[in-house]
Amino acid sequence: MCTCADVISHRQVIDLLRYAFWGATATLTILAMSPVLGFYFTGWSIRKEEFTNRFASHQIKVYLERFWGRTLSANNYGNNSALQFDAIYNIIAGRRRYAISSLIFLICTVTAIAIVVQYAAYSAIHAYIDMIAKDNSGAATSVSPGDYDLIFLPLIYFRPSDTAVFAVCGAFISVMQITVYGYKTRTLLSTDLLWASFRLVIAIPLGISVSAFRSDIPVNFVAFGLGAFPLTDIIRMLRRLVAVTLDKAEQSDDCRDDLLKLSGVTPAIAARLVEEGITAPQQLADTDPVSLAIRAGLQFDLVLNLVAQGQVWSFLGVTTAGLAPAGLGDCRAIAKLMKKGEPTSTSVISKVAAMDNVKCDADTLKFIFENITNDPFTTYITGIDYPNGSSKFDGPGRESCRVFWFGEMMNPENSPPPGQANVDSQENVSAAAASTRGDGETLIAFAKRYGV
C-alpha cells in the first residue's frame, strides 16, 4: 500500500512537477497574451495611422461633418480636425475598450491552460506514485486519493476527462489563430477577445456533447477537431446536425450572393460584412467607412472601394456588375467620367450601354450616371479619395504613372511620354476587351482618361 511516507520521501520529485506546472502555465499564458499586448502597445497606433495617413486635413473635416457632426457639436473637441478625429477614433476603438475584454481573456486563458497542464502533471504524478508503490514482488498497489493531498495544484479536485482536455487544446489553437492574425494584420478588436474567451469557455461542454452524439467515432480526435474549428463553422455544423436529427430542411443563407458580386469581395470578406449587418451591397452606401473598417477588421482602402461600389448598386442594382469590366463599377469612376463633359461622356456611355451585361439604354444610363455624380454621398466619397476632385492618378509626381487595369496590368515602363499616341496600348486594350466581352473603343477612352 502506498503510504504518506512514500510520498514524502519523494517530495523533491513532486516539487519538480509542481514547478513544471507553474512554469508551463506561465509560458503558455505569455504566448497567448503576446499578440494582444503587442497590438495594444504598437499595433493599435499603427492601425490608427492607417486612417490618419489616408486623410488630408480637409478630408478629415468632410468625413467628420458627414457622420459625426452632431457628436462634435455636443462635445467640446476644439476646432482642430486632427484632434477631433482622435476623439472620434477613441470612441469607436479606443484603447480603453480593450481593458475589460483583455482581463476576461486573460482569466479564461489561464484557466484553460491550467486545466491542460494540470492534466499532464496529474498523469505524471499518478504514473510516478504507481511506480514507487510496487511491493517487493512487483505487484502494483492501489493509490488512494488521500495520497495527493500533499501535492498543491490549483485545480487538484477538478480532473477533466480526456475528451475535455482535447477539446480545450483544440480551442486554444483556434484562439491563437484569432489573436495572431489580428496582431499581424493590425485588426484585432476587443470583441475578438470576447469571442476567443467564449470559445474557451464552451470548449469542454461542446466537445463532450458532440462527441457523445456518436459512439462509433474517435471521440478525442473529434473533440480536438471541433475545438480547432472557427465558431461560425461550428454553429453551421450544429445547425446541419440538428436539422438531420429532427428531419428538417436546413435553411440556406444566400444573403452573401450579391456581396460576392462586388469587386474585391471573397467569401471570407462577405462573412465579415454579414456579421456587421451588411447583407446587400446597397447597405454599403451611406455607411461610415472608418467605423465599418474597424468593426469588420478590413483595410480602409478596401472599404472605400466597397462603399463606392455600393453607391452605384443603390441606383442600378445588379446591373452594376455589368459595369465593372468597363471600369465604372464605383461612383468615383462615374463621377470622373461625367466631369469630362461632352462629347467624351456621351460617347463612352453609348459604348457601355451596348455591352452584353448592361441591361440599360444609353439615355437612361446617362441620366442615372448624372444622379450618381450629383448625389451628396458621391461628393463625400470622391472628396475623400480624390482631394480637390483630382484622380489618384493625377497630381505632381504622378504624370508618368499611366497604369490601366483591365484583367491584367499594363507595364508603366512601356508607356510613351505624355501626349504621344500609344497604338500598342490601344491594341492591348482592344484585345483585353475581346477576351472579357467588353468594348475596345470604350476601354481605350478609359485608358486615355488615365493618360495611358
Query: pLDDT tens-digit profile of 247-299?
Result: 665 555 556 778 888 888 998 899 889 888 898 898 998 788 999 999 998 88
Q: Which whole number is the average pLDDT over 4-26?
A: 70
Q: Decide which of 407 and 318 is more confident.
A: 318
pLDDT of residue 192: 92
pLDDT band at 400 (very low <50, low <70, confident <90, very high): very low
- The grid coordinates of residue 79 equal 476646432
CB 164 within 8 A of CB 24: no
**Distance between CA atoms of residues 405 and 408, nearest Å:** 6
How much is the pLDDT for 253? 54
Say if residue 434's pLDDT is above 50. no
Phi-psi region of 388 (alpha: psi -120 to 50; beta: other; left: phi over 0): left
8 vs 216, higher pLDDT: 216
Q: What rounded mean pLDDT belongs to the chain?
A: 75
Q: Is the Cβ–Cβ distance between 316 and 368 less than 8 Å?
A: yes
Say which residue, 302 or 440, is predicted with more confidence.
Answer: 302
Report the SS3 class of residue 411: coil
Instruction: Give pLDDT, residue 414.
Output: 42
Helix (H) or strand (E) holding 123: helix 97-132
pLDDT of residue 30: 95
Q: What is the pTM of this model?
A: 0.70
What confidence category does residue 344 fall into, taking pLDDT thresholds of 50, 70 and 90?
confident
For 218-238, the pLDDT digits (tens) are 777 878 887 777 777 777 766
Q: Which three cell numbers stand for residue 310?
A: 455600393
Q: What is the pLDDT of residue 179?
A: 94
Query: What's residue 204's pLDDT?
Result: 83
Ranges 145-149, 157-161, 257-261, 357-361: which has the least confidence: 145-149
Q: Is the pLDDT of residue 425 over 90?
A: no
Query: With 50 as the cut, is the pLDDT of residue 167 above it?
Result: yes
The total of other beta-carbon atoms located within 10 Å of residue 53's CB is 9
Q: Which residues of 290-300 are buried (b: 16+ CB within 10 A; e: fewer)?
A: bbbbbbbbbeb
**Per-residue model confidence (pLDDT) at position 209:** 76
Which pLDDT score is estimated for 213?
65
Number of Cβ within 10 Å of residue 204's Cβ equals: 22
321-337 tens-digit pLDDT: 888 888 888 898 999 89
Report whether pLDDT(147) > 70. Answer: no
Look at 213 and 195; give whichever has higher pLDDT. 195
Predicted confidence at residue 420, as pLDDT, reads 43
Task: Identify the pLDDT of residue 81.
Answer: 82
**Residues 6+ positions from 52 with CB-CB distance below 8 Å:** 60, 82, 85
CB 14 within 8 A of CB 115: no
Q: What is the pLDDT of residue 406?
A: 35
Tell me if the bond preceding 343 is cis, omega within 30° of 0.
yes
Three-state SS for 200?
A: helix
**In terms of pLDDT, which residue wins out, 291 or 243?**
291
Over residues 146-167, the mean pLDDT reads 65
pLDDT value at residue 412: 38
Question: Mean pLDDT lowest for which of 278-282, 306-310, 319-323, 385-389?
Answer: 385-389
Which of 437, 435, 429 has its CA nearest to residue 356? 437
Residue with cell 480637390: 388
Q: DSSP string of 126-144?
A: HHHHHHHT--TT-------
Burial letters 425-443, b for 16+ CB under 10 A, else e? bbebbbebbeeeebbbebb
Q: Which of 52-66, 366-380, 429-443 has the lowest mean pLDDT?
A: 429-443
Q: To the nearest whole percent, how much of the chain has pLDDT over 90?
A: 19
Q: 212 phi and psi, to 5 degrees?
A: -75, -10
What pLDDT score was predicted for residue 437? 43
What does the block give as the cell for 282?
446597397
| pLDDT at residue 212, as a whole number | 66
Question: How many angstroms separate the CA atoms of 188 and 180, rounded?
Answer: 9
Return the pLDDT at 181.
92
